[in-house]
Amino acid sequence: MKVEVSLTPALYPYRTVTEHHVTVAIDLLRATTAVCAAFQAGCREVVPLDSLEALEPYRAQGYAVAAERGGKKLPGSDYGNSPTEYMSKDMCGVRLAYSTTNGTVSILRAADADLTLVGAFANIDALCERLKEEGRDVVLLCSGWRNDFCLEDTLVAGAIIDRLSPFASHLSPLGDSAHMALDLWYLTQNDPYTYCSKASHVHRLQGFGTQAQADIEFAFEMNTCPVVPILKKGVLTL
Ligand code: MLT
C-alpha cells in the first residue's frame, strides 16, 4: 500500500500514485469538516461545486445553497460552511449545493480517483477504517489556501498516515511530503489545536467572530462525525 500526500491542489497532478487509488480530500478549516457535520446532522447529499454560477441551477431544483468565499458565508445563501451551524440544525433529507474557496475545488479535483472520500479530524477513525478495508493506494489531498500549503490539512494527513501505519505492514516507503506530514503530526499530536494557533487560516477565521472560533475548536475534535462521505458522479453521499 502506498500513501502519498499532495500538499496543495496544484501539486495533485504531479503525484506518483495515479492508478487504482483512493483520494481523500482534506480541508479541515472548514469545508470538509462542514461536509462531515452536514451528513452527521442528517443531510442527504452534497453537490460540491467550484463556481458560484454553478449553484443556481441546483437552487432552481430545490437544493439548499451553501456558499462561502474568503471565509465568509455569501449573502443570499441558505448556509455557509460552518460545521457548528450544521451540527445545530436538523439537516434531515436536505440536499446541499455547496461551493467554498478551496475545499470544494479539491473535492472536485480528487474526482479522478477510483474512489474519492472526504476527510477531517471529525471523521478520522471511520475514514481510516474505510481506507483499511479498501486496501488500495491512498492519496491525501490537502486543500491549503488558494494553492498554498497550510499547516492544519497537513496535520490531518499526518494523523491519517499514523493510523494506517500499523495496519499497512507493507506500507511502501513514504515520499518526502508524507514524511513531513507524519513528523509534524508526531511533534504536535498532543495538542494540534494550540500548535495551529499560528496557522494563517486560523488568524483569518478569528477575525470573523465567535461562530468561526467555535468552528476552529470543533474542527480539532476527533471523531465528532463518524461518517465517510463518498463522491460518486459529482455527488457526495454516505
Ligand atoms: C475553504 O473551502 O476554503 C474553507 O472552507 C474556507 C473557510 O473556512 O471558510
User: Which is nearest to 154 in space by CA: 111, 112, 199?
Assistant: 199
Q: How far does residue 20's CA lie from ligand 1's centre (Å)?
A: 29
Look over the chain and give the mean of its residue pLDDT values, rounded to a whole number. Answer: 95
Distance 197 CA to ligand 1 centre (A): 16
* Mutation choice for ligand 1 from 72, 100, 106, 108, CB with most ligand atoms inside 8 A: 100
Q: Which one-letter amino acid corresponds to residue 30?
A: R
Q: What is the pLDDT of residue 172?
A: 73
The pLDDT score that the predictor gives to residue 169 is: 54
Residues ≥6 apart with Cβ < 8 Å to 75: none
| Distance from Cα 68 to the centre of ligand 1, integer Å | 7
pLDDT digits (tens, 9 = 90+) for 128-185: 999 999 999 999 999 999 999 999 999 999 999 999 987 765 667 789 999 999 999 9
Between CA 173 and CA 175 the distance in angstroms is 7
pTM score, whole prediction: 0.96
Task: Give residue 166's pLDDT.
Answer: 77
pLDDT digits (tens, 9 = 90+) for 28-38: 999 999 999 99
Nearest CA to ligand 1 atom 8: 30
Residue 47 and residue 65: Cα distance in Å, rounded? Answer: 10
| Spacing, Cα 66 to ligand 1 middle (Å) | 12
Q: Which residues line ligand 1 (CB under 6 A)?
A: 27, 29-31, 68, 71, 81, 100-103, 205
- Contact between 236 and 118 under an 8 Å Cβ cutoff? The reply is yes
Question: Residue 7 carries which DSSP code?
Answer: S
- The pLDDT tens digits for 64-102 are 999 999 899 999 999 999 999 999 999 999 999 999 999
